[in-house]
Chains A and B, each alone.
Chain A
C-alpha cells in the first residue's frame, strides 16, 4: 500500500489538490491568460516570453490556421484569410454590424450571427474565437503542467446575452471548462482593488479595441460591489484607427483601394495612433499601388478627428452616474483599463468628465486577465478562506413582450445578482387558454428594438373572462448570469418554465460536430478525467465538511456527527477502490448527511453578520 501524504502545517491546499484555474481576457486586439501562483496573479507567457497574444487568426486551409503574432504579420499580405477583431462580430447579425458602420464585404448573413468568408470556406466568429482560446489553453496547459479545471473568461460588461453565449460556445469548442463569464471592468477592479487595498467609490473606464465599458464600484472591506455599469459594445480603439485612415484617404485622395491596401493603411494608422500616445507628431511610409507615400498626423488633428468618438462616450458616462445616483465628487478614483486608454485625448476626456486625473499606474493591458485569474482561483475553491467577495449586476434590463409589441421590464438593469423578480399578468381575450411569453433584453420600449432571448407558452388556462386570470411570471438570474423564467396561473396552478439559452451562435449539433472532428475527447481520456474530477470533488467536500465540523461543532445535534462521520468513511473507501460513479454516490451520501447542518451554519453566518454589525455600532457610540 502506498504511504499516505501528510501536509505541512499551515499549507492550505496541497499541490495535488490544487485545481488548475486561469483567467482569460479574450480581447478585440490582444488576448491574455493568467493564473494565481503562490497567492500572486501572474500573466502566462509563450515560448518567446510574450504575454500578449494578438487576437488574429490566419487560415491556410479548411482546418489549418496560425494564431497570434505570425498571423498579425500577414494581415496585409493575405487579408482575405487573416481575420482581425473578430470579437466585434460575436453574436451579431449582418444588420447589426452594418448599423455600426463597419464595412466588410467578406461577411455573409446567417441566422443569429454572421459568417466570415475565407478562401477555404466560411467560418463563424465563434470558430475563429475558439482558435484564439485554444492557443491560450495550450499555453496555460504547457505552463501549468496539466488540463485546466476551470477558467473565468472576461467579456465587456455591456455584452448582451447573444454575445455572451457566443463566447461560451467558443470556449466549449476550444475545450475550456468555463466557470463563469466575468465583466471586464469588474475584473480590473478586483485586480486593482486587491493590489492597492483601495476603499471607496471607483469608476472603471475600460476602452478596448472594440468595446467601451464604464462601471462604478464600491470597494469596502473586501467587498467589490458593482453599483452600475454602462457602455457601448461597438466603440473602441479600432474606430480611432478608422478615423485616421479616413483622414488619409481624404487628404491623399486615395481612390479604389484594394483590400490589401486598405489593410496596409489600417496597419499604418494603428502604428501612428500608438506613437501619438508618446509624441505630438508621427509619420510612416507606405506603398500604395506603385507609389511610396509619407503619411503623417499630429496630435492636434488627431484630437479634433476623435471628437465624434469621444462624444459618443458621454451618453454611457452620464447614464451610469444617473443610474448609481452619484455625482462626480462622490468618486474616489478613476481607473483606466484597456490599451486604447493610452490615447491622451481619451485620458483628457475622462479627466474632464470626472474632474480628476485618472489612475494610469497599472498596466491597462494586463489588469483584466489578472483579476479574472483571481476570481477563477476563488471559484474553483483554491482559496476558500480568501477574504473578498464580488457582487456584480446585470448590465441590461430583462423583460417580457406585452400587447402591442411593447416591452415590460421585469428585472431592471444594474440589479445585483442573484436576483429574482415576479410580476403578474393577465389574459387579453375571453376564454383565452394559453399565453405566449416572449423574453427580451434591452432598454427600448419596442420589442423589435430589443434582443429576443426566448419564447415559451403557458397552456391549459381554464376558460375565464379576459382579465380574470392571474399569471405570475418570475425571472431568476443566478450568480453565473443564467436566466430562468417560470409562469404560473394563480387560480389554477398551471405552470410552465424555461431556461433561457438564446438561439444565437452555433446550434448544439454544430458544436458537437465540431468537437467530434477535432477529437478533443478520446473515450479513455474522458473516463480518466471523470474519475479524477470525482476524486478532487470528494477530497474537497471531505475537507470542507471536516473543517465545518471543527469550526461549528456546537451546531451539531446529537447523533449527527456520527452519521456524517459514517458517510465520510464510506466516501474514503470509495476513493480507494471505486470508479467515478461509486465516488459520486458517496458524495451524495455526505451531502444528505450534512443537509440540516449546512442550514444551521448558514443561519449562524447571518447571525454573525448582524452581531458583527452591532458590535461595530457600539464601538462607534463609545
Chain B
C-alpha cells in the first residue's frame, strides 16, 4: 500500500467491490482510519506530515460519502467497470418514466399550494419506497447479473428521483419555518 490517491474506495476500506455493502461496517472502518490519520492526531508532526494527514482525511471522507449513498455508489461502481452514466450531458428519459414524474410533481405542487405538510411527508415516504425498490434493483443488476447498461438507466432514474425527494424536503422545511 502506498500513497496512491487513485486506489479505489473499496480497496481503501478493504471491502468487496459490490453494490450490496455493509454500511455500518464501512462507517466503523472509516472511523478507525480517521482515528489514525486525522490532522488533529498529528498536531506535533512536521508541516509535511500535517499536510499529508489533511489530504488523507479528505480522501477518506470522500470515499465514505461516495460509497454511503446508493446512487453515487452505483455510479462509482459503474465507472470502475467503464460505464459512464452521462447524467450531466444527456438528460433524456423514457417517456413513461417522465409521465409518472409529472403526476408526482402535480401532487407535490398541490400539497405545497395547500400548505399540507402531512401530505408532503406522505409523498416523501412513498417516494422513499420507490427509491428503495430502485436501489434493490440496482443490487440485482450490478451484483447478480452484471447488466451494467441496464444499471446505467436505473442510476439515471434514481438520480432524478433523489432530486425530487430533495425538493420535497426543502418544501417541507420552508413550510415548517
Give residues in A with beta carbon < 8 Å to B: 220-223, 225, 314-315, 318-319, 322, 378-381, 384, 389-391, 415-420, 424, 443, 445, 476, 478-479, 540-541, 543-545, 587, 590-591, 594-595, 598-599, 601-603, 605-610, 612-614
A/B interface sample: 14 pairs, CB < 8 A: A220-B31, A389-B38, A417-B61, A418-B54, A418-B58, A478-B39, A479-B40, A479-B57, A595-B46, A602-B3, A609-B29, A609-B35, A609-B36, A610-B32
Say if the beta carbon of B161 comes within 8 Å of chain A. no
A222 to B39, CA, bound (A): 16
Q: Is the CB of A602 within 8 A of B56?
A: yes
Whole-angstrom distance between the alpha carbons of A443 and B38 in the complex?
28
Q: B residues within 8 Å of A by Cβ? A: 1-3, 12-14, 28-29, 31-41, 43-49, 52-54, 56-58, 61-62, 64-65, 88, 169-170, 173, 176-177
Known contacts being A380-B43, A443-B173, A479-B40, is A612 close to B32, with CB within 8 Å? yes
Kindly state the separation between the CA atoms of A595 and B45 in the bound complex, as whole angstroms. Answer: 11
Q: Are B34 and A605 in touch, CB under 8 angstroms?
A: no
Q: Is the interface of B mostly helix, strand, loop or mixed?
A: helix
By the criterion CB–CB under 8 Å, are A416 and B31 in contact? no
In the bound complex, residues from chain A placing their C-beta under 8 Å from that of B35 are 222-223, 389, 609
Q: Check B29 against A598 for contact (C-beta < 8 Å).
A: no
Q: A594–B176 contact, CB under 8 A?
A: no
In angstroms, how far is the closest chain B Cβ from the Cβ of A373? 15
Q: Which residues of B contact A601 (CB under 8 A)?
A: 49
What 10 A-B pairs have minimum CB-CB distances, sorted nearest first? A605-B36, A609-B32, A591-B46, A598-B49, A544-B44, A381-B44, A315-B176, A609-B33, A418-B58, A381-B43
Contact check, A476 vs B58: say whether CB atoms are below 8 A apart. yes
| A462–B14 alpha-carbon span in the complex (Å) | 44
Q: Which chain B residues border A222 with CB–CB below 8 Å?
A: 35
How far does the Cβ of A574 sit from chain B's closest Cβ, in whole Å?
16
| Neighbouring B residues of A598 by C-beta, 8 Å | 45-46, 48-49, 52
Does the CB pair A610–B29 fall under 8 Å?
yes
What total of A-B pairs shows CB separation below 8 Å?
Answer: 125
Partner of A223, one of B13, B34, B53: B34
Q: How far is the CA of A225 from the CA of B169 in the complex (A)?
A: 24
Q: Is B14 in contact with A389, judged by CB distance below 8 angstroms?
A: no
Given A315-B173, A602-B56, A603-B2, A415:B28 Cβ within 8 A: no
Let me know if B177 and A315 touch, CB within 8 A. yes
A319–B18 Cα distance when bound, in Å, is: 32
B37 touches A606 (CB 8 A): yes
Complex CA gap A595/B29 in Å reads 26
Known: A381-B44, A599-B3. A479 touches B39 (CB 8 A): yes
With a cutoff of 8 Å between Cβ atoms, the chain B residues found around residue A221 in the complex are 31
Contacts of B39 in A (CB 8 A): 418, 478-479
Known contacts A318-B176, A478-B54, A541-B46, then 10 further A-B pairs from the complex at CB < 8 Å, ordered by chain A residue? A222-B35, A223-B35, A384-B44, A389-B38, A390-B40, A391-B34, A476-B58, A479-B40, A594-B48, A602-B3
For B14, the closest partner residue in chain A by CB is: A610
Docked complex Cα distance between A595 and B48 (Å): 7
Distance, CA A614 to CA B14, complexed state (A): 10
**Distance between B88 CB and nearest chain A CB, rounded to angstroms:** 7
- B12, B14, B31, B57 interface centre (most CB from chain A within 10 Å): B31
Bound-complex Cα distance A222 to B38 (A): 13
Q: Is there an interface contact between B3 and A603, defined as CB atoms closer than 8 Å?
A: yes
Contacts of A322 in B (CB 8 A): 169
> When the two chains form their complex, are residues A613 and B48 in contact, meaning their CB atoms are under 8 A apart?
no
Bound-state Cα–Cα, A610 to B46, Å: 25
- Smallest beta-carbon distance B17→chain A, Å: 16
The answer to whether B41 and A389 touch across the interface, beta carbons within 8 angstroms, is yes
